[in-house]
Structure 1
């Protein structure tokens, strides 16, 4: 890739994923900016930027990992340091946005992803580049432009080049919420789809939180009489796990935005195997692979888990040979180049549907 002409940008990175940052900088023909990010003995985050950023465009590459809270603080402090050093613009390149799964109100909590978005904007970020948000509506939480890139072209290419006889495969949504993504993949590969309905594990939204509890025994009579005649609430009961669609004698390819807790994927794979699928693949953008995910994958009937390198997972790959990685550094580098040169970003979304 040719060097950027309109004044070279400054590429900085924290401690979350230096390997990805180096790959992006190499694609751009640049060197990483000199910045030291470390922790004091009391675990406070310290940032020391050695290069001048005055009047320059700064790109901070920082993703979310298992050390998510430190990742966020490093990004915020680096952005604020650049802001107070008179940087012209500060773009946060956040391949996996931390707390993106907490984008809905649950029980008596809060929408944490909105809080994180507000903090990032207040710290000095003028633009955000991210990938495969858990919900695309999260973009509305930011007070700055957000480019939500898609890894699907890279994963589609992997299917076409690395899965033998993929024409006989079926795209599988492990739950109804993933049906739109599965449909998007199926349409571009011209394959059929199947949807898995029913779960063995209760979702977080179904947990009892006390909001439907009856009034205490010492309530006033006039208050308890208000509810007279109201129909009783019917408790949710998830049906047994079931596969809607034909997977017998075919390759099953499950698609999702992230692979974190793999219990649901393992349960779905077992259901697919029982119904005749002879090979099972799992494809996702973010490979968080928390807890004992590598062991569970290794012991399961899943044949391969394909994720991108938005999140570092080298240790997990050493524990499980079924985990494969797709490099998305070229996509991030091209996004940075286009933003820096004020070019259109539409090319990066040319083959991506809204449902993706």
Structure 2
């Protein structure tokens, strides 16, 4: 490739050597060093046109990523100072891509900061592979080619899996559904989804009940709901436009207010509170109760209601839902990231006992809550969870704003939490391809593999990822898992030799040298990139 030169950092020399070999060019000479205080030093030759290829990835040590980023920025700046015509940063694994959105109010969007640093350094073009979130392309002020490893993975499947046409592509979490459906469409296969939830099915009603009691006490509304006053007479004639308060009652019949224009109020712990407040909206049912209705304990009534609703829904589902796909939903229990039988004892605490106020023992006053108030408070209690709830999200309550992957890994490793796993899709007697963009921790991969085999009845499990980060003992743990048959990743992220030795029998590394080299060549000559996204048999 005439008129261009490739420079490389110290993060992934094998990948750069493969790119230069494919392009038929020699690697540019650059001197990389460090001062005694840890600062990075870069010196390069001056060329007419420069393409800077320095993958900002690291080897085994995670701290090397920061060094690689600084190395790349200094190299770009050096090329810019050397009057380079154009500079292209080739970054197969984009660093800090998992920090592409705010997860807390005072959190940082670090991926956008890296994009801004590249722009300030002087980059003109960026080539990367499988961004964690494709929306990150909007962070850059220059063109971005977000290549995909999907055609390479699909080609490996066609060549190495004999009965791949019977397989099912499965996403190990809802966030990777789009990536999974894309591969399934390319191979014309079915797909499925595995989801995990910290809330156990058997404790959902108990949580709502506890949350209801606590909400009533926190807001001071519990004392106001006790029917110590005579109820309203619904048969009494009330003049139009007249508003009624609890205090304005005589012998069970309401009397007109002196000033109807004032807002309606009620007494809560001795204080007048407007009826229009959020609490009063949920408490409004207590003001219209017939006294002759017997008050039953709420716990007994809730359980009865639950059983009645389940029986009623079961009858309806038997009549209405005749689609076979409705039966392809399988549930299971996960303890420490592994599937357990229904007879397995539960951990010390359940997922719904994350905070102490929910796990408190019932008090005597709980039995005084009228049964008719249950339906209204079940909905309000679920929407008034405390700020430290495990499912509360700092930026508006959307799952997209939460660090779902990290939370999921922590929950699966926690010995005191039991997780409910759900498999949607029919994988019985079929091989399964579990796909995601990066492979950093093993808990979610192993949990998904055990779910499709032990619960779904799958025959084999192949797990695929573009970036094999393999943090900690991830690769070793997945290699010890007998359910996983193959681990397939690309060399977009460098995998050290000692880690590859941990899973020689299962690990398969697909080269992306040709993909990146072709992208560099097409970008240099101004050719179309669209063919790099196509599948070839």
TM-score by length of 1: 0.86
1:37-186 aligned within 5 A:
37-49=32-44, 51-53=45-47, 55-65=48-58, 66=62, 67-107=64-104, 108-186=106-184
What is the rounded CA distance, in whole Å, between the counterparts of 1:133 and 1:176 in structure 2?
A: 17
Secondary structure at 2:36 match in 1: coil
Residues 120-140 of structure 1: CA distance to partner in whole angstroms, max 9, x if unpaired? 110111110000000011010
Q: Which runs of 5+ in 1 are unaligned?
A: 202-214, 216-221
Secondary structure at 1:241 match in 2: strand
Secondary structure at 2:114 match in 1: helix
Structure 1 residues 139 and 148: CA distance shift in structure 2, 3 A = same
Residues 243-299 of structure 1: CA distance to partner in whole angstroms, max 9, x if unpaired? 111112111100111111121111111111212112111111111111111211111
Q: What is the CA distance between 1:25 and its match in structure 2?
A: 0.4
What is the rounded CA distance, in whole Å, between the counterparts of 1:88 and 1:31 in structure 2?
A: 19
1:174-323 aligned within 5 A:
174-199=172-197, 229=280, 231-232=380-381, 233-234=384-385, 235=389, 240-275=420-455, 276-300=457-481, 301-315=483-497, 316-321=499-504, 322-323=506-507
Residues 255 and 284, structure 1, Cα contact 8 Å, conserved in 2:
yes
Matched, 1:34 2:29: yes
Q: Name the residue aligned to 1:206.
A: none
Structure with the higher strand share, 1 or 2: 1
Structure 1 residues 295 and 229: CA distance shift in structure 2, 3 A = farther
What is the rounded CA distance, in whole Å, between the counterparts of 1:295 and 1:58 in structure 2?
A: 37
Q: RMSD of the TM alignment (CA)?
A: 2.3
Of 509, 523, 526, the residue aligned with 1:339 is 523
Q: Which runs of 5+ in 2 are unaligned?
A: 200-217, 219-270, 282-379, 392-407, 409-418
Secondary structure at 2:53 match in 1: strand
Q: What is the CA distance between 1:329 and its match in structure 2?
A: 0.6
Residues 172 and 252, structure 1, Cα contact 8 Å, conserved in 2:
yes
Of 8, 12, 15, the residue aligned with 1:20 is 15
Count of residues in Structure 1 that have an aligned counterpart in Structure 2: 325
Residues 280-332 of structure 1: CA distance to partner in whole angstroms, max 9, x if unpaired? 11111111111111211111121111000001113321111221100111110
Structure with the higher helix share, 1 or 2: 2
Secondary structure at 1:89 match in 2: coil
What is the rounded CA distance, in whole Å, between the counterparts of 2:139 and 2:439 in structure 1?
A: 24
What is the rounded CA distance, in whole Å, between the counterparts of 1:199 and 1:69 in structure 2?
A: 34
Secondary structure at 1:48 match in 2: strand
Q: Name the residue aligned to 2:3.
A: 8
Secondary structure at 1:178 match in 2: helix
Secondary structure at 1:198 match in 2: strand
TM-score by length of 2: 0.58
Structure 1 residues 302 and 200: CA distance shift in structure 2, 3 A = farther
Q: What is the CA distance between 1:76 and its match in structure 2?
A: 0.4
Residues 63 and 310, structure 1, Cα contact 8 Å, conserved in 2:
no
Structure 1 residues 88 and 299: CA distance shift in structure 2, 3 A = same
What is the rounded CA distance, in whole Å, between the counterparts of 2:479 and 2:489 in structure 1?
A: 15
